[in-house]
């Protein structure tokens, strides 16, 4: 037992020496009775340009018989220069088995290398893997994502003219390449007037400059491979897809844009009007969400899809015309557009989705196209200025609360071909006095009574198949 104790103390002493004096040496994790084990290359290996460096990975103690040694670099090598290529090579001291790694650029992970160790025995000192790094290309730290949390760390301004650098240095002095900007990074930075994005950024989240009221300029480096700000548009556009992903109060949408991306103008509080070019085919969800000062907008013929909440909370939007080219409308499209008085719907849509006009308390009239077969839940909920609503006979489904809380509604008719009426479809229409149904496909008179009776204190009669079935 004494000799085992001495060997243990010896190995422990060597470990202390290695930790204290040589940060390029690491010992494998002490795992008992596992034929496979992992060696992790140290995170912070920094070398100068045009030089070589060697470091060791030592494997010892408590290993079972032969297995595969997998060497997995934890991070890419930190180099001090900005050009060239870094090649990592090495060999096993005992059996001379060769292997290679490659660190060939900022967006490439170092690949795994494997070495067969033939006679690994528990307690054996197997020697060292010796690695040599030759400078051909430089890697400056790990790629980073800018967020609102680390802006202060990197001393990037959140006011005035913001220029995002290609590289930043952390508090430990390590350089990092800026490759992405996370969602809401500059959200609410009301004093930002311009923002410049470097060529290194290849990923940008949603709403990176939302609620930046003074922002008047967005510039993307001309060498950026993924994004551009073409034609001085003051916008960020995905070059390959022609999708606008971020605009501001002064954006002029270029004629080449085909998609207005989700959240692209969300919370552009000072945006009063904007022209959408004929090239645009789709408007994604929440594209103009909470543009409080947007009063009007023209959607060109050629747009085929407008996704959910695209104009939600546009509290000063008064009117909008949706062209006949649109075949898809998302739910809650005009949610809480409290100043909206008139809307022209396309003739080819098959449904008015749930919540489309929910909270549009100023909407005085609406024409529902004969192509519509269903009106979703809450579709017209709270449209208090509606005095009448003409539901075409094409409609077969009225969703729950679909026309509820329309306190200005005095009369309506139920379409002849109705097959389903949801809970409280006309609930709390407190001035509704007359409802007429002349069809013969819907036979659930009890349901009609239940749907209409709740909180409709002014209701006097319901005409069902030319007969009054309910009266007060």
Within 10 angstroms of residue 451's Cβ, the number of other Cβ atoms is 23
The whole-number pLDDT of residue 467 equals 58
Render 90-106 in DSSP notation, one character per residue. EEETTT--EEEEEE-ST
By the 8 A CB rule, do 180 and 143 touch? yes
pLDDT at 267 over 70: yes
Share of the chain above pLDDT 70, in %: 64
Least confident of 117-121, 215-219, 329-333: 117-121
231 & 160 share domain: yes
Among 104, 137, 170, the domain-final residue is: 137
Rounded Cα distance between 209 and 247, Å, is 8
The total number of structural domains in the chain stands at 2
Does residue 161 share a domain with residue 240?
Answer: yes
Model pLDDT, residue 60: 37
| 412 occurs within a structural domain | no
**Which of the listed residues 220, 241, 257 is the one where a domain comes to its end?**
257
387 has a pLDDT exceeding 80: yes
Q: Which residue has the higher pLDDT, 433 or 392?
A: 392
If we measure between CA atoms, which residue out of 181, 100, 110 comes closest to residue 139?
110
Single out the residue of 217, 166, 159, 224 nearest to residue 186, CA to CA.
Answer: 159
Strands (E), 393-432: 397-398, 411-414, 420-421
pLDDT computed for residue 100 by the predictor: 33
pLDDT over 90 (residue 58): no
Measuring CA to CA, how many Å separate 436 from each of 368, 439, 468? 18, 9, 9
The residue that leads in pLDDT, 390 or 468, is 390
Share of the chain above pLDDT 90, in %: 49
pLDDT band for position 457 (cuts 50, 70, 90): low
CB 357 within 8 A of CB 379: yes
Q: Residue 237 sits in a domain of what CATH number?
A: 3.80.10
* pLDDT at residue 76 greater than cutoff 80: no
Mean pLDDT for 60-83 is 36
**Cα 397 to Cα 307: distance, rounded to the nearest angstrom:** 21
The answer to whether residues 6 and 133 belong to one domain is: yes
Instruction: Please indicate, yes or no, whether residues 155 and 131 belong to a single structural domain of this protein.
Output: no
**Do 98 and 49 lie in a common domain?**
yes
Same domain, 166 and 107: no
pLDDT in tens, 212-240: 999 999 999 999 999 999 999 999 999 99
Residue 445 has pLDDT above 90, yes or no: no
**Residue 124 and residue 152 share a domain:** no
Domain that holds residue 219: 142-257
Whether residue 148 is found in the same domain as residue 238: yes
User: pLDDT class for 8, splitting at 50, 70, 90?
Assistant: very low
Predicted local confidence at residue 72, as pLDDT? 37
Instruction: Determine the pLDDT at residue 468.
Output: 56
The dihedral over CA atoms of 438, 440, 444, 447, expressed in degrees to the nearest 10, equals -20
Of residues 263 and 157, more confidence is placed in 263
Would 71 be classed as within a structural domain?
yes
pLDDT at 337: 97
What integer pLDDT is reported at residue 433 of this predicted model? 84
- 91 with 26, same domain: the answer is yes
Written in H, E and C, the secondary structure of 21-78 is HCCCEEECCCCCCCCCEEEEECCCCEECCCCEEEEEEEEECCCCCCEEEEEEECCCCE
Same domain, yes or no: 252 and 162: yes
- Between 99 and 254, the higher pLDDT residue: 254
Q: What is the mean pLDDT of residues 257-271?
A: 96
Quick one: pLDDT at residue 450? 67
**Mean pLDDT (whole number) for 325-351:** 95
From the number of C-beta atoms within 10 Å of its C-beta (0-12, 13-18, 19+), residue 439 rates as middle
Computed over every residue of the chain, the mean pLDDT equals 75
Look at residue 407 and tell me if it is in a domain.
no
Segment (H or E) for 202 = none
Residue 441 has a pLDDT of 74
Other C-beta atoms lying within 10 Å of the C-beta of residue 5 = 9
Residue 335 within any structural domain of the chain: no
Is residue 173 a part of any domain in this protein? yes
What number is the average pLDDT over the span 285-300? 94
| Predicted local distance difference test score (pLDDT) of residue 368 | 95
pLDDT of residue 440: 74
What was the pLDDT predicted at 398?
94
Residue 363 lies in a domain: no
pLDDT tens per residue across span 181-206: 999 999 999 999 999 999 999 999 99
Q: What is the pLDDT of residue 469?
A: 55
Q: How confident is the model at residue 170 (pLDDT cuts 50, 70, 90)?
A: confident
Residue where a domain stops, chosen among 118, 137, 156: 137
User: Do 124 and 151 belong to one domain?
Assistant: no
DSSP assignment of 303-337, as one string? Answer: B-EE-TTTTTT-TT--EEE--TT--EE-TTTTTT-
- Give the Cα separation of 259 and 157 in Å (integer): 31
C-alpha 23: how far from chain center: 40
- Residue 448: inside a domain: no
Residues 6+ apart with CB under 8 A from 12: none
Of the candidates 250, 268, 152, 264, which has an alpha carbon nearest to the alpha carbon of residue 205?
Answer: 264
Q: Output the pTM of the full model.
A: 0.70
Q: What is the mean pLDDT of residues 280-285?
A: 98
Q: Residues 26, 57: contact at Cβ < 8 Å?
A: yes
User: Does 125 lie in the same domain as 73?
Assistant: yes
388 lies in a domain? no
Place of tokens 């952390």: 170
Report how far residue 287's alpha carbon sits from residue 247's, in angstroms, rounded to the nearest whole number: 10
Position 370 pLDDT exceeds 70: yes
């Amino acid at each position: 037992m004494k000799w085992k104790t001495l060997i243990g103390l010896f190995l422990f002493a060597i470990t202390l020496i290695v930790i204290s004096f040589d940060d390029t040496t690491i010992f494998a994790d002490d795992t008992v009775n596992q034929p496979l084990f992992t060696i992790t290359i140290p995170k912070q290996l920094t070398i100068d340009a045009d030089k070589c460096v060697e470091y060791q990975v030592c494997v010892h103690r408590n290993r079972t018989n032969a297995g595969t040694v997998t060497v997995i670099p934890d991070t890419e090598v930190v180099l001090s220069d900005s050009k060239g290529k870094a090649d990592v090579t090495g060999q096993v001291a005992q059996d001379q088995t060769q292997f290679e790694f490659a660190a060939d650029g900022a967006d490439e992970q170092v690949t795994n290398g494997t070495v067969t160790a033939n006679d690994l025995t528990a307690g054996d000192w197997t020697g060292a893997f010796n690695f040599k790094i030759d400078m051909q290309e430089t890697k400056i730290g790990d790629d980073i994502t800018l967020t609102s949390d680390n802006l202060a760390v990197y001393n990037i301004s959140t006011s005035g003219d913001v220029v995002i650098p290609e590289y930043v240095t952390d508090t430990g002095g390590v350089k990092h390449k800026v490759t992405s900007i996370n969602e809401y990074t500059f959200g609410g930075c009301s004093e930002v007037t311009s923002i410049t994005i470097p060529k290194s950024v290849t990923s940008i989240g949603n709403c990176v400059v939302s609620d930046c009221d003074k922002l008047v300029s967005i510039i993307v480096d001309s060498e950026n491979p993924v994004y551009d700000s073409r034609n001085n548009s003051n916008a960020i556009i995905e070059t390959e897809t022609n999708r606008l992903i971020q605009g501001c109060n002064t954006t002029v949408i270029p004629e080449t844009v085909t998609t207005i991306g989700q959240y692209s103008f969300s919370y552009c509080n000072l945006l009063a009007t904007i022209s959408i070019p004929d090239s645009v085919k789709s408007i994604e969800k929440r594209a103009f969400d909470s543009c409080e000062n947007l009063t009007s907008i023209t959607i060109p013929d050629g747009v085929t899809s407008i996704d959910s909440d695209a104009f939600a909370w546009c509290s000063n939007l008064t009117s909008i015309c949706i062209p006949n080219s649109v075949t898809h409308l998302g739910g809650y499209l005009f949610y809480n557009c409290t100043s909206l008085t008139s809307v022209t719907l396309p003739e080819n849509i098959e449904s008015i989705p749930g919540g489309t006009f929910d909270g549009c308390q100023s909407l005085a009239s609406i024409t529902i196209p004969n192509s519509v077969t269903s009106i979703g839940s809450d579709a017209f909920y709270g449209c208090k200025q509606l005095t009448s609503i003409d539901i075409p006979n094409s409609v077969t489904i009225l969703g729950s609360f679909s026309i509820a809380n329309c306190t200005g509604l005095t009369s309506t008719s139920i379409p002849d071909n109705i097959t389903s009426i949801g809970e409280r479809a006309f609930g709390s229409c407190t001035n509704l006095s007359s409802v007429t149904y002349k069809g013969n496909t819907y036979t659930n008179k009890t349901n009609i009574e239940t749907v209409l009776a709740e909180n409709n204190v002014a209701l006097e009669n319901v005409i069902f198949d030319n007969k009054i079935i309910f009266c007060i």
